[in-house]
Amino acid sequence: MDGFNEYRTIRVAKVLSDFRTLQYYIAAAPTDPPNMEDYYTEGWAALRQCSLDGQHVLNCAADTSVPQASGGPLEQEKAELKQSVAVAHRSRHARIKY
């Protein structure tokens, strides 16, 4: 083992944790302006959409299954890291509208 997989795993876990924290902040964004005349302005409409999208991402079910790899602990770590990256990729691209 080269020692890097452990650091990569920790880094991926930290990135995923930061992503989830950001999603909570986005979902908690204010959706009603202090002045109701501004309700239909572009900025407040964008904030409402961000809040809805953030709620959707938080409410999506996550695949929590652990992959099983043959070949020992190193292969198991690789499989788990690949799954973590794939989950992060799917979550990110599920929000993007093409």
pLDDT in tens, 8-47: 878 888 888 888 888 888 888 899 999 999 999 999 999 9
Q: What is the pLDDT of residue 47?
A: 92
Count of domains for the chain: 1
> Residue 81: which of 15, 21, 23 has the closest Cα?
15
Q: What's the whole-model pTM score? A: 0.52
Q: What residues make up the domain containing 83?
A: 4-95
CA distances from 16 to 29, 48, 53 (A): 20, 24, 17
Pick from 61, 75, 90, 65: nearest CA to 5: 75
Residue 48 has pLDDT above 60, yes or no: yes
Residue 11, phi-psi category: left (phi > 0), alpha (psi -120 to 50), beta (remainder): alpha
